[in-house]
């Protein structure tokens, strides 16, 4: 089966000035690739609703009206320390793919440390920074592991009233690479989505983990990193290409203008006149979409080769199109003879053999 030669950026659905592609991986994981002017942002979202949370009324009715004090959410939400395993897995992925010197630095977190929900104190990343210490996810893992009975959980670190987000945790890659600008992970819940969780799952808040990978371009390293984070990018991309291929095939077979538009888009060496002649020959021979695409590819490459040789005319003649149809059709198991072509075109048999040999070299 012939596959459309997809340029990822060109074929992404456009939303506003950005190009965005979304995939749902499973019941709890989704993925978005957003192509911006200078980079690409891959965002992985994981639902954390399987983990328990503890909700109580906060001191916001008083604190939020005090000048110079950070606003607090109206409900105090403490997330289970089991969620840290999701954060640690991101750190593992970075070190396994990029190397042991790479990992996540903690940007914000507020731990609950004590003997239970009725007896704890909070500490955050600033407490360490004031001691000249830069907190890391690897260090947090060691600390949580050695104080398992005392780490009650972690709570809201930033209350973003403008975006209606309660942010529990933020961390970022400790250094950049040539192809990866940044990696960030966040654990948050959106007040705007609160009703969804209340109606569908009967819970007060639905926590989510986001992993944002900003890259200059897609590379093998990026694909491996996504794979390590549970995103089979290769399979997702192939499914996208296949679905575009099947839809594009239908539209091209229904509408000759779409077929011409497709050829014009991907086989730039062919002029509008040549594309029209190609389609005419294909129609006369009742050729399929796959065969027409192979014809276009053959003629595009042959013309490119001819233009490199100043002693040879780069112009395509009628015989080129007909023989291209024969060669392309033979690739799909359809036989056409040079004798019939020579008789219909009045072209010497030897000339047809020369053109066929030239076209078949392109297939090698």
pLDDT in tens, 74-99: 989 999 999 999 999 999 999 999 99
Q: What is the percent of the chain with per-residue pLDDT over 70, rounded to a whole number? A: 92
pLDDT in tens, 186-223: 999 998 898 998 898 988 899 999 999 999 988 899 99
The mean predicted confidence, pLDDT, of the chain is 89
Average pLDDT over residues 20-45: 92
- Taken in order of first residue, the domains within the chain and their CATH numbers are 10-231 (no CATH), 255-363 (1.10.472.10)
Question: What's the confidence (pLDDT) of residue 344?
Answer: 62
Given a cut of 50, whether residue 334 has pLDDT beyond it is yes
Given a cut of 50, whether residue 17 has pLDDT beyond it is no
Question: What's the confidence (pLDDT) of residue 1?
Answer: 46
Q: Assign 331 a pLDDT band (cuts: 50, 70, 90).
A: confident
Strand partners for 183: 213
| Residue 94 · residue 225 · CB < 8 Å | yes
Question: What's the confidence (pLDDT) of residue 340?
Answer: 59
Question: What's the confidence (pLDDT) of residue 155?
Answer: 96
H-helix segments, the chain = 8-11, 60-63, 84-98, 125-129, 137-146, 194-200, 220-228, 233-254, 256-266, 272-284, 289-308, 318-331, 338-345, 349-363
């Amino acid at each position: 089966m012939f596959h459309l030669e997809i340029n990822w950026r060109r074929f992404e659905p456009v939303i506003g000035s950005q190009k965005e592609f979304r995939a749902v991986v499973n019941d709890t994981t989704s993925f978005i690739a957003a192509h911006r002017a200078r980079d690409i942002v891959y965002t992985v979202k994981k639902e954390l609703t399987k983990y328990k949370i503890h909700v109580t009324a906060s001191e916001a009715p008083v604190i939020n009206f005090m000048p110079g004090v950070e606003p607090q959410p109206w409900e105090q939400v403490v997330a289970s320390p089991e969620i840290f395993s999701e954060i640690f897995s991101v750190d593992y992925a970075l070190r396994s793919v990029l190397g042991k010197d790479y990992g996540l630095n903690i940007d914000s977190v507020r731990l609950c440390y004590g003997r239970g929900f009725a007896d704890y104190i909070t500490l955050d990343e600033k407490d360490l920074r004031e001691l000249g210490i830069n907190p890391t996810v690897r260090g947090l893992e060691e600390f949580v592991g050695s104080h398992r009975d005392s780490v009650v959980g972690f709570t809201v670190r930033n209350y973003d009233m403008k975006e209606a987000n309660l942010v529990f945790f933020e961390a970022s890659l400790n250094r950049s690479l040539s192809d990866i600008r940044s990696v960030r992970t966040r654990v948050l819940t959106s007040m705007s989505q609160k009703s969804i969780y209340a109606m569908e799952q009967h819970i007060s808040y639905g926590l989510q983990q986001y992993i944002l990978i900003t890259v200059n371009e897609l590379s093998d390293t990026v694909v491996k990193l996504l794979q390590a984070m549970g995103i089979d990018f290769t399979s997702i991309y192939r499914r996208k290409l296949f679905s575009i291929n099947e839809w594009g095939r239908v539209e091209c077979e229904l509408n000759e203008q779409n077929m011409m538009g497709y050829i014009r888009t991907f086989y730039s060496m062919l002029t509008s006149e040549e594309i029209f002649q190609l389609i005419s020959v294909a129609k006369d021979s009742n050729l399929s979409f796959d065969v027409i695409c192979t014809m276009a590819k053959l003629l595009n490459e042959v013309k490119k080769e001819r233009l490199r040789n100043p002693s040879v005319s780069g112009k395509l003649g009628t015989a080129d199109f007909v023989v291209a149809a024969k060669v392309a059709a033979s690739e799909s198991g359809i036989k056409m003879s040079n004798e019939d072509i020579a008789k219909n075109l009045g072209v010497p048999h030897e000339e047809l053999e020369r053109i066929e040999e030239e076209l078949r070299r392109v297939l090698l």
